[in-house]
Structures are given as C-alpha cells and as structure tokens.
Structure 1
Amino acid sequence: MAVRSFDKLFVDGQWLDSTGSGRIEVISPHTEQAIASVPDGTAGDMDRAVAAARQAFDQGAWPRLAPEERIATVERFADAFRRRLPEVAEVVSAENGCPITLSTHLQAAGPLAIVESFLTVAKEFPWESQRPGATHASVTVRREPVGVVAAIVPWNVPLILTLSKLVPALLAGCTVVLKPAPETPLDAFVMVEALVEAGLPAGMVNVVPGGREVGEHLVRHRDVDKVAFTGSTAAGRIIAGICGEQLKRCSLELGGKSAAIVLDDADLAVVAEGLKATSLLNSGQGCVNQSRVLASRANYDNVVEAVVGTMRSMPVGDPADPATEIGPMTTRRQQERVEGYIALGEKEGAELVLGGTGRPDGLNRGWYVRPTVFRNADNNMRISREEIFGPVITVIPFDDVDDAVRIANDSEYGLAGSVWTSDSDAGNAVARRVRTGMVGINGFMPDYAAPFGGYKASGIGREFGPEGLSAYTEIKAIYPPPTA
C-alpha cells in the first residue's frame, strides 16, 4: 500500500488550505527518500484551529452532552478506526521505520486497544456523585471538561500517544488541537478520516502539523486551557514553564533511563527473550525501554552473554520485511545522536562487546545503527544516565539487592523498570522499592487500564485508566441551599 499525501489541514470540521505555502516532506528512514507530504502549518493556522476549538467548546453541544452520548460517538470512531488498522500499520511503519510486524500490533492495534479501554473507563466513571458533607447534609461533586486541549505528540509511537490524549479529552467533553510530529504527520490524517466517519461535530478535533515554533505558539495561546505533551524532558521543562506562568493545566510524559534488575535466580532464557520488548521495543526508540540492565557481579558474565545473544538474534533491516525486528532510526538526527553516544561510551571507558559505530552489515542506505552492548560500565557514565533512544544496552554490575535498588534509583528519571527473578515475592518486594511510575516483574508490558507516567524528570500526571480520564476534567463542588 502506497502512503498518501494530504494537501489540506483539518480545522473546524473541514479540510482547509494552509495560510502558508510550505510543505512538510515525510522521509522514509529506510530509503532516505520522500514518500509523501502535508502542509507545513503556520501560526495563523494554529490561531484558526484554536478559535474553532474555543467556539466548539464555548458554544457547541459536545461539552454539554450526557456522557453516554459522547461515548456513543467514540464507539463509532473505534469501529471506523478498526477498519483502517492495516493502513495505519503500513503508514506508521513507512513514516518512522517501525518493523511492520511490530507496527501491526503496537502502532495500529495498540491505539485501538487504548480507545476501547477508555470507553470501558468512561462507562463507570463518576461524572457526578453525592457525598456526605461536613457542614451540609450532602454535596454534589461533578467532573466537568477542562476546556480546549493542545495535544503535542512525538514520532516514535504517534497514534498511541495521540489517542491517549484525544480519546479521554473527547470523552470528558473537551475540544482538541493536535500538533503531530513533522516526521510522522500522515497517521494523524488517517485518524481524522475515521473521526469524520464517526460523525464528530465540527471544531472538536483540529489537526495542524508543524515544527517547534508552531508548537510553542500553540502552547502559549491564551485560549488553550490545557497542554498534553509527550516528548523530551528538555522540551517538557519549557512547556511546564509556560503553563506555570499562565496557570494553565498541563500533563507531561517525558524521558526515561529505566533499569532492568536481574536477580541471581532469574531464568536467563526468560530474560533474553523478554529484553526484546523490555529494552529494545521499537528499535530502542521508546521512553519506557530499559536500556540499563543491572546484574550482580557473581552473575555478570552470564547476563552479558544473554543480552548479547538477544541482540544477535534480532534481524536488522527493511521495516517492510515481516522478519525484521530492529529497523532504522526514525530520523538522520536520531541516527547521529545514537552513534554519538556509542562513541562516547567507548571514550568513557565502557567495554564494547557488540556493535559500535557505522552501519550494520549489508545496509548501505537508511538511518540504521548497529545494535550495541556495553559492559564494565558504571552508573556515572553519560551512557548510563542520559536517554539514548536507540538499540543500545549498558550492563551495569551491582553488589547486592540494596545496591541494585540504589543504582536503579540513581537517575534524574523515574518512568519504568523491571525485576527479573524466579521468586515472585522477592520481585514484588524489589519493585516496591524502585522509584518509578511503572515496574514489571519478569517482563514489561504497559496495561492501558492502569496509570502510565513517571516520577521526577519523567513527567507530571498520568495517562490511561481512570487517572488518564481525570486529567481532562475539572472538579466542581455544588453546595445545597442552607437549611433553616
């Protein structure tokens, strides 16, 4: 299936020309050739989109509908999106280089599962409740929509991150202006076609691709009530500052440098297989990927061997090939960044046991890097502390369990983690000591019904589950008339 270009933006329920003449070319990470294009949104386009969202929220029916009516529309969207799953998988794979087999499950079926999970949550959500009061017989507590939402998403799992914001916002009664990443804008327009088919009212969702300047214009816009952002911690700090200055709500899902703690009783065959999804998912381009593997000194060589074996077993190549497990980096900039960290690791004194700089064998084009493993690293090295976002694993030794927990927690981030052991009680005990928002035992697979997010510099707020829906609501208390 050939990917499609789009000539217009989606604003106020219509396909409209941009106020500018620029185009964003979408470049294949595999061929390094342009495969499609979309309009390059301007500040004027963002102003139109925000105005449409503001009008729809302030004057439209959607925020005042009963939750059941909003749920019915989102259910129709789920049906329309389901029919587009093969196209979504191919479009995202073409845009960002995600291997097609993984894209089918992660980039297409994953977003649909998010929609379905939020629908389940919304049907049981306490939109309005009564509680006993301290100075009144009872108090009404309402959950009302936060308002106009600016949703800004990156390129690694674009529709997962889009729908984790868009769906709870719509179910809560909000309106949305979406800025997809300029590297991966096509999937957002495929999604819009499903929204149109579902009968979403005009102005509820508006899509304007663009770069950083247009994104900042959206964040600073005074008619935006909340910013929902996923991306780098550096960008998140800037957004948080703007929102703090304006006392604007924000939720931030940011970076990670998570640790997989391998206890001595762990089954290393389970560890080796599990690292594919725990540390190397999406070719290493995932905020929850656990690029630090911690192993005891007594078991260190065995764990390194298991990690290297995992890397060697994963075919690298064309993302359109169903056998491929590691594809290219999404951008040339990311390829250069990852290779820079690999060179830095060697300079810092870590021992390179697999990979290194340069293209993988047999690949003379595309933004590929060699899957890389470092040993004899310590947690003070930059390769152990900074988010690399590629297929690079650093294996760090620990003395005992207390030391492993100390190393895992010695990070500015606190997003994810895992504990590998044959003793589930011991695994749970260690998991409770790790200062991260999510921890898996003998694996790591986020659950769309559970809160997703992190501690410290990994962000503010949570997505998914009731917590993710609550993030798009304001809480109002209504007091009854005083009694005589």
Structure 2
Amino acid sequence: MSETLRTISPVDGSVYVERPLASAAEIDTALDKARDAQKAWRAVPIAERQEILRKAVSAFVAKKDEIATEISWQMGRPIAQAGGEVGGFEERATYMIDVAPEALGDFNPGEKVGFNRFIRREALGVVAIIAPWNFPYLTAVNGVIPALMAGNAVVLKHSHQTPLCAERFAEAFVAAGLPAGVFQHLHLSHADAEKLMGDRRVDFVNFTGSVPGGHAVQRAVAGKFIATGLELGGKDPAYIRADVNLAHAVENVIDGAFFNSGQSCCGIERIYVHEGQYDAFVEQAAALVGQYRLGSPIDPETNLGPMVRASSAEFVRGQIADAIASGARALIDPAKFAANAEGTPYLAPQILINVDHSMRVMSEESFGPVVGIMKVSSDDEAIRLMNDSEFGLTASIWTTDEDAALAIGDQLETGTVFMNRADYLDPALAWVGVKNSGRGCTLSKIGYESLTRPKSFHLRTKI
C-alpha cells in the first residue's frame, strides 16, 4: 500500500488534503515519459510554445478566487492577500514568455569572411523543480514557465504543505493543450525526491528551500555533471538613512518584514536606522505593527495569518525569548492579539530593540513575524552590519539620494539591491543569491542561460 501525503491546515489543524505518494514505478514512468515528450517539444517553434503557455496562464488566472482560497487553507496567507500571488504569477510568467525569443535567439559574434558562425541556446532536457510552500506559485513559476519556454520538459515536486499548487499547474497546462508528458507533477517523499534528482534522466534541478535542503540537493546530484539552481533563503537587511522619507519607509519596511507572517525568503529581517531617525522610526513602526489583525486567514478582515505550523511559531518564540534574556526589549505586547497562543501557529508580531548580532534573532533566519532594529551612526557602520551575515539575497536602502544608494549597494554582499522598496521580484531583473542564499539565477533574459546550454556552429562556407 502506498504512503499518503497529508496537508495539515494551519487555519484550524484539520487535514485539508490527502494524496497518495508516487510509487517507484510511477516515478520511473514519469521520467521516461518526460524524456520522450521533450524530444518533440524542443522542436516546437518558440512562437508556438509562447501561444500554448499564454493560454495556460490565462486558464490559471481564470481560477484566481479558487486558487486564493486554497492558498489560505494550505499555508495560512490571509484571503485578502492570497489573490495577489495569482497576479504576481501572471506578471512573471507573461514577462518570461514575452522575452523568450530574444533570450533564446542565436547569438552572432560578428562577420568573418568565408564563415557562418553563431551560438544557439539548446534545451537541457528534463528539469526537476522542487518548490516550497511559502509563495507556492511565485517560487515555482520562476522555474516552470522559462524551463518549458526553453524547450525542456518539467517534473514538479511541490511541498507537502501545498500539493494542490502542483495540480493547478497541471490543470492549466491541460487546458492550454500542452503535449502530454512535457509537464508532470509527482507527490514524493523526501527520499524519493532525492532519487528523482539523482536519476540519470534529470538534466537540471531547480530548488527553493532551506540551506540543509540545498546541501541535500548537491549530494543527490553528485554522481552526475549537471547544474543546480538553489534559492536558500535570507536574513535580509534594510538601512534607513538620515535623509529618508520616513513615512514611506515605515509603511513599506514594516510591510516587507511582516507580510506573509514574515515567511518570505526576501522579507526584511534586520533593520538598521541612522541615529537621526531612530527614535521616530521605532515609534512609528511599533504603532503600525500594533494595528495588525492576527486571526484566521479565511476572515477578510485579517491581515496577519498564522505561521505555517506550530513548530515554526515556537522557533520564532524561542528566538524572541533568547533575545529578551540577553537584553533586548520587546515593543509589542502579545496579549493585545487575542489569537496569539503558544502551541499553535498563531503568533503575535514583534519588534525588538536593544539587539545586537550576538543574538540569534539577528543572525539566524527567523522566517516569522519578528524584526530587530539597531541604531547606526554612519553608512559605513550600516554596510558592515548588513554584510555581517551568512546570507545575501536582498538588501534595501531607504534614502532620497540615489547616488548614495548606488555607492552603498556596490559594497553590499547581496544578489539584489533595492532603493525605497523591498520584498519584490521584478521579472526583468536577475533573481540571484550569494553566500548561503544559494547560487544560480532565475527570471530576466539571463535566467534562460541556466535552463539551456550554448551550442556553437562554426560553418566554413568558402573552400
């Protein structure tokens, strides 16, 4: 008898989804099918691939309300915000579809008499995508759509917390007429996911998840000479300069820290404020967080839902308790949030001051509704502290001086530098991480490079 996947909803602790896990025979069949289907798919003209995938995006967006409800029940995002993920999916998918002809077109290095020379982008083959629960469509779409546009077949393994997301992808592709086998999804155990990645029929692995998960991916593919794309999280800093537009910064930095209950790889987890703005920023930030409404994500009035599971909330509670024991001061009274309860995923938001980098809350990835705020006296001090992390996914600078933002950004060890915004992926820009935030690139024209290989043609036309 096959094992069963059970999704426990953070809303009320009920079993929301049950699915059988794929058997070894089903995995084997899926990989053979993907291999065979890709041979035909890679020969389909790019314009025809675009047409099919645009239809798939339309079919997906048409189910926005149903999809939003499923997101809320599966991982706890407030229903008032969950539909935004469908909009983000559409934006990223549409951009990557539109830019494909340019990104995948032949590159001519220049004329040379008697020769025809060019470089062609060639599909890798079968791409395995391992997607997480926190932004279940926005993370997966970064790999799925460009992999298919590039002429690859895709096998998607989604998180056990959000299995319906894989099924929604499949539903949209069937509606669009994507040839059978070009996209498939499998519900897998961790052990079988590792076997899938290590299988000789898989030519590239795209993984979004934890640092230990990234190491597991590397071990799984160690017997093959294939590349991997790894997005492994962050401890992203924000720097509030003295010349900041304070009202704009407070509103957007706090949203960047607490949206999705802080469960964002590129969410703000550390805030450094110039001493000239520190008191005002802290006061206004605490007042704003105090207005959050923690509760059931199915309630349209809720703007802060539960964390994905009780154990995740307890981890963050532990970080907060350790920081307070070491001298930090909590600005938010959890008792003011009726839904807050130990042993449950419902966790009140928290701002901590009097923090430093010896505290776990300022060094470990929290992935929850907590942020620490430190006072700094200069750009140099802010840069030093922002770089004092094992992670490097994004960093944001809040200032009215673009030249200063560029100068600071050049010194930051990060994949993306924001000025006056945060926690957003522009599909026209490369999405990358450094240090323990991972390796590789998705989105933008450059994102197609990891999903294809260059093939050089050197043709002597005169002999």
- Equivalent residue number for residue 352 of structure 1: 330
Q: Deviations over 1:267-297 (max 9, x none)?
A: 2211221024322221100000111000123
**1:212: Cα distance to partner?**
1.7
**Aligned: 1:54 with 2:32:** no
Q: Contact 2:242–2:275 at 8 Å: present in 1 too?
A: no
- Equivalent residue number for residue 4 of structure 2: 23
Q: Which moved more, 1:69-78 or 1:340-349?
A: 340-349
**Aligned: 1:222 with 2:203:** no
How big is the alpha-carbon RMSD for the aligned residues of Structure 1 and Structure 2? 2.0
Paired residues, number: 461
Q: Following the alignment from structure 1 to structure 2, what is the Cα–Cα distance between the partners of residues 129 and 265?
A: 45
Q: Following the alignment from structure 2 to structure 1, what is the Cα–Cα distance between the partners of residues 24 and 385?
A: 45
**Aligned: 1:336 with 2:317:** no
Q: Deviations over 1:111-143 (max 9, x none)?
A: 121111111111332422332378974412100
The secondary structure found in structure 2 opposite 1:479 is strand
The secondary structure found in structure 2 opposite 1:222 is coil
Q: Which moved more, 1:269-278 or 1:359-368?
A: 359-368
**Aligned: 1:476 with 2:455:** yes
The secondary structure found in structure 1 opposite 2:107 is strand
Q: Following the alignment from structure 1 to structure 2, what is the Cα–Cα distance between the partners of residues 333 and 179?
A: 23
- Equivalent residue number for residue 466 of structure 1: 445
Q: Deviations over 1:365-412 (max 9, x none)?
A: 851111111111112322111101000101122231101011101111
Change (3 A) 1:362 1:165: closer
**Aligned: 1:34 with 2:11:** no
The secondary structure found in structure 2 opposite 1:317 is coil
**Aligned: 1:361 with 2:342:** no
**1:483: Cα distance to partner?**
4.3
- Equivalent residue number for residue 127 of structure 1: 105
Q: Contact 1:373–1:394 at 8 Å: present in 2 too?
A: yes
TM-score, normalised via structure 1 length: 0.90
- Equivalent residue number for residue 431 of structure 1: 409
Q: Following the alignment from structure 2 to structure 1, what is the Cα–Cα distance between the partners of residues 392 and 181?
A: 37
Q: Following the alignment from structure 1 to structure 2, what is the Cα–Cα distance between the partners of residues 460 and 238?
A: 14
**1:298: Cα distance to partner?**
4.0
**1:482: Cα distance to partner?**
7.0
**1:183: Cα distance to partner?**
0.7
**Aligned: 1:109 with 2:87:** yes
Q: Contact 2:398–2:420 at 8 Å: present in 1 too?
A: yes
Q: Contact 1:272–1:309 at 8 Å: present in 2 too?
A: no
- Equivalent residue number for residue 405 of structure 1: 383
Q: For residue 457 of structure 2, what is the amino acid of its counterpart?
A: I
- Equivalent residue number for residue 455 of structure 1: 434
Q: For residue 338 of structure 2, what is the amino acid of its counterpart?
A: D
**1:436: Cα distance to partner?**
0.9
The secondary structure found in structure 2 opposite 1:282 is helix
Q: Following the alignment from structure 1 to structure 2, what is the Cα–Cα distance between the partners of residues 450 and 436?
A: 14
Percent of aligned positions that are identical: 33
The secondary structure found in structure 2 opposite 1:440 is strand
Change (3 A) 1:340 1:44: farther
Q: Contact 1:379–1:396 at 8 Å: present in 2 too?
A: no
Q: Contact 1:132–1:138 at 8 Å: present in 2 too?
A: no
Q: Following the alignment from structure 1 to structure 2, what is the Cα–Cα distance between the partners of residues 310 and 186?
A: 34
**Aligned: 1:68 with 2:51:** no
- Equivalent residue number for residue 151 of structure 1: 129
TM-score, normalised via structure 2 length: 0.94
Give unmatched runs, 5+ long, in structure 1. Answer: 1-19
Change (3 A) 1:480 1:383: same
Q: Following the alignment from structure 1 to structure 2, what is the Cα–Cα distance between the partners of residues 362 and 280?
A: 16
Q: Contact 1:268–1:306 at 8 Å: present in 2 too?
A: no
Q: For residue 456 of structure 2, what is the amino acid of its counterpart?
A: A
Q: Contact 1:30–1:366 at 8 Å: present in 2 too?
A: no
Change (3 A) 1:135 1:147: farther
Change (3 A) 1:247 1:359: farther
The secondary structure found in structure 1 opposite 2:453 is strand
Q: For residue 372 of structure 2, what is the amino acid of its counterpart?
A: T
**Aligned: 1:99 with 2:78:** yes
Q: Contact 1:181–1:211 at 8 Å: present in 2 too?
A: no
Q: For residue 95 of structure 1, what is the amino acid of its counterpart?
A: Q
- Equivalent residue number for residue 13 of structure 1: none
Q: Following the alignment from structure 1 to structure 2, what is the Cα–Cα distance between the partners of residues 436 and 363?
A: 34
Q: Following the alignment from structure 2 to structure 1, what is the Cα–Cα distance between the partners of residues 389 and 112?
A: 43
Q: For residue 251 of structure 1, what is the amino acid of its counterpart?
A: G
The secondary structure found in structure 2 opposite 1:261 is strand
The secondary structure found in structure 2 opposite 1:430 is helix
Q: For residue 48 of structure 2, what is the amino acid of its counterpart?
A: E
Q: Following the alignment from structure 1 to structure 2, what is the Cα–Cα distance between the partners of residues 261 and 244?
A: 39
